[in-house]
């Protein structure tokens, strides 16, 4: 296993302070998480910071995740007392449902008030879970920079949503140290940690261990393999041979194979996959 995956740039410390300073200004928190890794993409620091505030959990990238697991995780979070909504922030699926939810909260907040106050919300989440895409959908314009790489959003922004709603955007925040090494791996699989600091071939091996155990049929169908070998390394070599990723002298091109498998997992080309099953 890849050991000690950590990525905690200085701006993330500032983001934590920013959230602490501005939490008192908002009525509720919208927490965006990755539906493929609902546990690993829930930052425990955010959990600590926003406790006591009403929260909506957005299961983003639900179109890339296992549909049955989307439903299971939705029920799990509802049992914990949270409002929850599976979404695809890139396409906008679920945005209207979220706006209706926010309008209901705004109306309830002002129900007994003579002076109507705007609903103020904060959007939080680890890098690359789709916060900026959600904000752009809510505002109907490109209010923030978006990108496929983590760490694109910088600084604090107050944005008007209309309908007496205002939104505070913050950059993505990870935590300084992953107590569970699996959490770091899962975040790396989904692109929340910069690929540049990782060995892609080794990361692919770890991913293939999971996929061989949890989604063997999808692997076999995608890479046209009759029977998967027993080890992740052997499966990786099977994929390389099927794709023709062979170097001079018959050597396996592990780097190219690793990048291909990682990319095809992230795009759901292999299939809709949830790496973390919901608790039963």
List pLDDT tens digits, range 15-63: 677 777 778 888 899 999 999 999 988 877 777 777 778 899 999 999 9
Domain stop point among 119, 152, 169: 169
Q: Is residue 185 part of a domain?
A: no
Q: pTM of the prediction?
A: 0.84
Q: What is the CATH number of the domain that holds 211?
A: 1.10.1580.10
Q: What is the CATH number of the domain that holds 65?
A: 3.40.50.300
Same domain, 48 and 127: yes
Q: Is residue 180 part of a domain?
A: no
Q: Is residue 174 part of a domain?
A: no
Distance (Å, rounded) from C-alpha 15 to C-alpha 146?
18
Q: Is residue 274 part of a domain?
A: no
The pLDDT, as a whole number, for residue 110 is: 84
The pLDDT, as a whole number, for residue 244 is: 95
Pairing of strands 54-60, 28-34: parallel
Low-confidence ranges of the chain (pLDDT < 50): 143-154
The first and second tokens of residue 264, run together, are 């095809």
Q: Is residue 179 part of a domain?
A: no
Domain stop point among 148, 169, 190: 169
Same domain, 261 and 222: yes
Helical (H) or strand (E) element with 54: strand 54-60
Same domain, 134 and 210: no
223-227: long-range contacts, CB 8 A cutoff, minimum separation 24:
none
Q: Is residue 130 part of a domain?
A: yes
The pLDDT, as a whole number, for residue 200 is: 92
Q: What is the pLDDT of residues 169-190, one digit of tens each?
A: 766 565 555 667 788 889 889 9
Same domain, 58 and 154: yes
Q: Is residue 113 part of a domain?
A: yes
| Domain count within the chain | 2
Give the CA radius of gyration of the chain: 20
| Three-state SS at 20 | helix
Same domain, 140 and 238: no
Same domain, 146 and 257: no
The first and second tokens of residue 233, run together, are 């390394």
Same domain, 33 and 163: yes
Helical (H) or strand (E) element with 161: strand 157-162
Q: By residue range, what is the domain housing residue 233?
A: 199-266
Distance (Å, rounded) from C-alpha 238 to C-alpha 185?
23
Q: Is residue 184 part of a domain?
A: no
């Amino acid at each position: 296993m890849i050991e000690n995956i950590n990525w905690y740039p200085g701006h993330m410390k500032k983001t934590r302070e920013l959230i602490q300073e501005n939490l008192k200004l908002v009525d509720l928190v919208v927490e965006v998480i990755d539906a493929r890794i609902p546990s690993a993409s829930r930052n425990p620091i955010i959990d600590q910071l926003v406790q006591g505030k009403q929260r909506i959990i957005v299961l983003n990238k639900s179109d890339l995740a296992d549909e049955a697991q989307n439903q299971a995780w939705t029920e799990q979070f509802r049992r914990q007392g949270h409002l929850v909504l599976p979404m695809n922030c890139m396409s906008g699926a679920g945005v209207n449902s979220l706006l209706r939810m926010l309008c209901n909260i705004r109306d309830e907040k002002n129900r007994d008030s003579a002076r109507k106050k705007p609903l103020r919300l904060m959007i939080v989440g680890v890098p690359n879970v789709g916060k900026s895409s959600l904000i752009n959908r809510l505002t109907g314009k490109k209010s923030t920079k978006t990108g496929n790489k983590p760490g694109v959003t910088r600084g604090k922004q107050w944005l008007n949503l209309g309908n007496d709603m205002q939104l505070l955007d913050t950059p993505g925040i990870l935590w300084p140290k992953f107590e569970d090494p699996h959490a770091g791996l899962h975040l790396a699989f989904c692109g929340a940690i910069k690929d540049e600091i990782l060995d892609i071939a080794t990361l692919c091996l770890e991913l293939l261990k999971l996929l061989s155990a949890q989604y063997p049929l999808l692997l076999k169908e995608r890479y046209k393999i009759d029977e998967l070998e027993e080890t992740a390394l052997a499966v990786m070599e099977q994929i390389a041979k099927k794709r023709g990723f062979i170097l001079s002298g018959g050597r396996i091109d592990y780097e190219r194979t690793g990048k291909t498998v990682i990319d095809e997992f992230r795009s759901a080309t292999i299939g809709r996959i949830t790496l973390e099953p919901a608790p039963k």
